[in-house]
């Protein structure tokens, strides 16, 4: 069975790529420089979209949200921006409507495995084996469930 989750990117508040992981053979093979470029471009598009947004979220400190969902015929992109400005975005199968839920779970893993690590320096690239292992387990578990229309809970 193909993995319906393609790629995860985590971008710090300045727009720099701090984590990237491919999960599927469908994920386009790109160099590390191309990944940095894609993260930077997405960050710019996100900021432009948020400056165009007429709606400010009261639960988000009156900060307008940028791109949250982008769906094409070949992939779906979901983005989660945290209050600290870190952005998580994942690409996957166009029918994988549970990606928003997955991002919320990834954010919880990020807080548990990355932010609580005493040796991790905030805003720097994430290179933590425990985070990698938990992330792969979580994504695989959701993908093997086979129900791409709903969250696993």
**Higher per-residue confidence, 53 vs 22:** 22
pLDDT for 53: 66
Give the pLDDT confidence score for residue 148 in this predicted structure.
45
Closest CA to 35 of 26, 44, 22: 22
The domain tally of the chain equals: 1
Per-residue pLDDT averaged across 109-121, rounded?
95
Q: Is the pLDDT of residue 112 over 80?
A: yes
Percent of the chain with pLDDT over 90: 32
Judge whether 70 and 77 are in contact, CB under 8 Å. yes
Question: To 5 degrees, how large is the angle CA 55–CA 14–CA 98?
Answer: 55
Q: Is residue 123 part of a domain?
A: yes
For the record, the structure tokens of 78 come out as: 């979901």
pLDDT of residue 17: 92
Burial of 32 (0-12, 13-18, 19+ CB in 10 A): exposed
Question: Running DSSP on this structure, what letter comes out for residue 47?
Answer: H
Angle between the N-to-C axes of helices 129-145 and 99-109, in degrees from 0 to 180, rounded to the nearest 10: 160
> In this predicted structure, what is the pLDDT of residue 67?
73
For residue range 70-108, list pLDDT tens digits in order: 788 988 889 998 888 899 999 888 888 888 889 999 999
Cβ atoms of residues 70 and 49 within 8 Å: no
Cα 42 to Cα 17: distance, rounded to the nearest angstrom: 10
- Domain containing residue 62: CATH number: 3.30.450.70
pTM given for the model: 0.82
Residue 152 resides in a domain? no
In this prediction, residue 125 carries a pLDDT of: 94
pLDDT in tens, 31-70: 777 877 788 787 777 777 777 766 666 555 556 677 777 7
Identify the weakest region by mean pLDDT among 15-19, 40-44, 130-134. Answer: 40-44
Longest Cα–Cα distance of the chain, Å, equals 42
Q: Is residue 103 part of a domain?
A: yes
Is residue 151 a part of any domain in this protein?
no
Question: Domain range holding 98?
Answer: 5-145
- Decide if 153 is inside a domain: no
Is 31 inside any structural domain? yes
Q: Is 105 within a domain?
A: yes
How far apart CA 5 and CA 8 sit, in angstroms, is 8
Q: Is 32 a domain residue?
A: yes
Measured CA to CA, the distance from residue 77 to residue 135 in angstroms comes to 18
**According to the model, what pLDDT value does residue 62 have?**
59
């Amino acid at each position: 069975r193909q993995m319906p989750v393609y790629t995860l990117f985590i971008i710090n508040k300045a727009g720099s790529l701090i984590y990237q992981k491919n999960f599927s053979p469908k994920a386009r093979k790109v160099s590390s420089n191309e990944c940095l470029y894609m993260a930077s471009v997405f960050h710019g598009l996100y900021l432009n979209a948020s400056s165009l947004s007429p709606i400010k979220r009261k639960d988000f400190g009156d900060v307008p949200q940028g791109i949250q969902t982008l769906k094409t015929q070949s992939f779906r992109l979901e983005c989660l921006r945290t209050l600290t400005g870190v952005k998580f975005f994942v690409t996957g199968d166009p029918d994988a409507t549970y990606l928003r839920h997955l991002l919320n779970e990834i954010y919880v893993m990020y807080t548990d495995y990355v932010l609580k690590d005493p040796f991790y320096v905030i805003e720097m690239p994430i290179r933590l084996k425990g985070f990698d292992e938990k992330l792969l387990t979580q994504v695989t578990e959701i993908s093997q469930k086979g129900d791409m229309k709903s969250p696993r809970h």
